[in-house]
Amino acid sequence: MKNNLNNTRLGFGLMRLPKKLVRTDIDQVSDMVDLYMDAGFNYFDTAYVYPGSEKAIKQALFDRYPRESFTIASKLNAFMAPTEKAAKNQFNKSLERLGTNYFDFYLLHALMRNNYKRYDNFKIWDYLEDKKAQGKIRNLGFSFHSDPELLEQLLKEHPEIDFVQLQLNYADWDNPSVSSRANYEIARKYNKPIMVMEPIKGGKLANPPEKIKKLFTDYNPEASPASWALRFISSLDGVYTTLSGMSNTNQMVDNLNTMKNFKPLNEDEYLILREARKILGNTNNIECTSCRYCTENCPNNIPIPEIIKALNKHYDGQYQSAQEDYNEATSNTALASNCIECRQCENVCTQHLSITDYLKASVELFEN
Ligand SMILES: NC(=O)c1ccc[n+]([C@@H]2O[C@H](COP(=O)([O-])OP(=O)(O)OC[C@H]3O[C@@H](n4cnc5c(N)ncnc54)[C@H](OP(=O)(O)O)[C@@H]3O)[C@@H](O)[C@H]2O)c1
Ligand code: SF4
Ligand code: SF4
């Protein structure tokens, strides 16, 4: 890997930045950047399609720190681009938004079975190889949300790739729709450094069911549930960085505490996480990680992750609070019943969820 900086154990994911009303809270992001840089870490992960993210990190980081004191990763998303030209334009647009002339890490974004051919058809692999040859990309990789067979196929077809970004967390280790373990093993087989995304499952593992919280606090009352999730990932061989999309200063402080004084899991702790996984397997929670990829192109602006959150509360038996959450989520936007079943959301869902079925269930539960 081409990187002169070495402390990358914790990566700062820039997909869930704090907001002040509807705008990104630049002051808070700057404070988070300062805490993160002071702790000696240096890996930032953004993307062309994360709303406002590149612009915010320019202000909070690029305008305030020497360019060589940190590394930046961004991504090209061909699936959300209407044409080949528009897809390729994302590269220069991201450089421009960040005010830089190179990326330390650059990725083909969110490859899955239903979109990877678009990257071939648009000749994105060659386009980015060319940018690498020009020195505008130091390390080229792709992020991935699909099955191990496709991961192996892509790594065979593209030996030039320097790294992969995978969705790994303890809860999905053996979950067949995420395949954390199987994908991890393929990346190791091809000797590719791994950037990990969604290690806390988009926040779900920071607030697990009470039974799991008790398991954790009985063993160590000081450690947050988030720290268990981060330590599971960071204990794996071959992980270059564990990206966490921290969305406020307290989360940054907690995660820095875990990763600065990092201790790999011991045998007892592995057993506790195995128990936790069993408990999670017995819930009928819908596995939405609130990544919001689905809302980008919904023609009716349906607040899908918020509706699913309300549905999960309902399934947990919190009926009143679920109804209130549904009403609030839909008060200024669209209702679940406004869905026209175009399925654009399902085509990009990183967890491969049957979103339209959940919306139909929500209509029954919350609108009737
Ligand atoms: N390339 C791709 O396809 C792709 C897809 C997904 C993500 N990513 C990248 O990977 C990064 C990491 O993924 P992620 O954002 O899903 O990471 P994550 O760490 O699994 O989830 C982040 C969320 O976890 C919660 N959290 C984190 N630390 C916490 C703490 N100490 N205490 C309590 N809650 C805590 C927060 O949820 P609340 O805000 O709800 O409190 C936060 O928004 C993203 O930011 C993005 O840069 C890439
Ligand atoms: S299927 Fe429904 S929720 Fe999904 S993008 Fe289309 S209208 Fe929006
Ligand atoms: S429904 Fe899928 S794409 Fe939408 S926020 Fe949830 S996990 Fe992400």
pLDDT by residue (tens digit) across 162-174?
999 999 999 999 8
Per-residue pLDDT reduced to its tens digit, 301-327? 999 999 999 998 888 778 888 999 999
Residue 5 pLDDT greater than 80, yes or no: no
355 Cβ below 6 A of ligand 3:
yes
Give the closest residue (by CA) to ligand 1 atom 41: 203
351 Cβ below 6 A of ligand 3:
yes
Calculate what percentage of the chain has a pLDDT beyond 70. Answer: 99
CB 177 within 8 A of CB 201: no
Report the C-alpha gap between 135 and 267 in whole angstroms: 44
Report the C-alpha gap between 279 and 325 in whole angstroms: 25
C-alpha 82: how far from chain center: 23
Closest atom of ligand 3 to 287 CA is 7
Per-residue pLDDT reduced to its tens digit, 74-133? 999 999 999 999 999 999 999 999 999 999 999 999 999 999 999 999 999 999 999 999
Residue 62 pLDDT greater than 80, yes or no: yes
Tokens of 247: 């969305």
Domain boundaries, the chain: 10-281, 293-367
* DSSP of 249-261: HHHHHHHHHHHHT
Calculate what percentage of the chain has a pLDDT beyond 90. Answer: 89
Per-residue pLDDT reduced to its tens digit, 246-283? 999 999 999 999 999 899 999 999 999 989 999 998 67
Distance 311 CA to ligand 1 centre (A): 21
- Which residues are CB-contacts of 250 (< 8 A; sequence separation ≥ 6)? none
pLDDT at 282: 67
200 Cβ below 6 A of ligand 3:
no
| Closest-CA residue to 246 (of 224, 264, 266, 262) | 224
Compute the half-sphere exposure of residue 89: CA atoms within 13 Å on the CB side of its CA.
7
354 Cβ below 6 A of ligand 2:
no
Number of H helices, E strands in the chain: 15, 10
288 Cβ below 6 A of ligand 3:
yes
Angle formed by the axes of helices 249-260 and 225-234, nearest 10°:
50
Report the C-alpha gap between 20 and 277 in whole angstroms: 35
Give the closest residue (by CA) to ligand 1 atom 39: 247
Distance 138 CA to ligand 3 centre (A): 31
Distance 364 CA to ligand 1 centre (A): 31
CB 155 within 8 A of CB 164: yes
337 Cβ below 6 A of ligand 2:
no
Closest atom of ligand 1 to 110 CA is 3
Burial 70-92 (b: 16+ CB within 10 A, else e): bbbbbbbbbbbbeeeeebbebbe
Average pLDDT in the chain = 95
Residue 4: pLDDT band with limits 50, 70, 90: low
Which residues sit opposite 44 in a β-bridge? 12, 72
CB 336 within 8 A of CB 307: yes
pLDDT at 228: 98
Q: φ, ψ for residue 143 (rounded to 5)?
A: -100, 150
Report the C-alpha gap between 267 and 271 in whole angstroms: 6
CATH class of the domain comprising 10-281: alpha beta
- From the CA of 345, the nearest ligand is 2
291 Cβ below 6 A of ligand 3:
yes
Distance 110 CA to ligand 3 centre (A): 13
Neighbour-count burial of 322, counting CB atoms closer than 10 A to its CB (0-12 exposed, 13-18 middle, 19+ buried): buried
254 Cβ below 6 A of ligand 1:
yes
The structure's pTM equals 0.89
Which residue among 12, 16, 115, 194 is best mutated to probe the pocket of ligand 1, counting the most ligand atoms within 8 A of its Cβ?
Answer: 16
200 Cβ below 6 A of ligand 1:
yes
* DSSP of 108-162: EEEE-TTTHHHHHHTTHHHHHHHHHHTTSEEEEEEEE-S-HHHHHHHHHH-TT--
Side chain identity at 4, as an amino acid letter?
A: N
Give the closest residue (by CA) to ligand 2 atom 7: 339
Which residue among 16, 109, 112, 293 is best mutated to probe the pocket of ligand 3, counting the most ligand atoms within 8 A of its Cβ?
Answer: 293
CB 73 within 8 A of CB 33: no
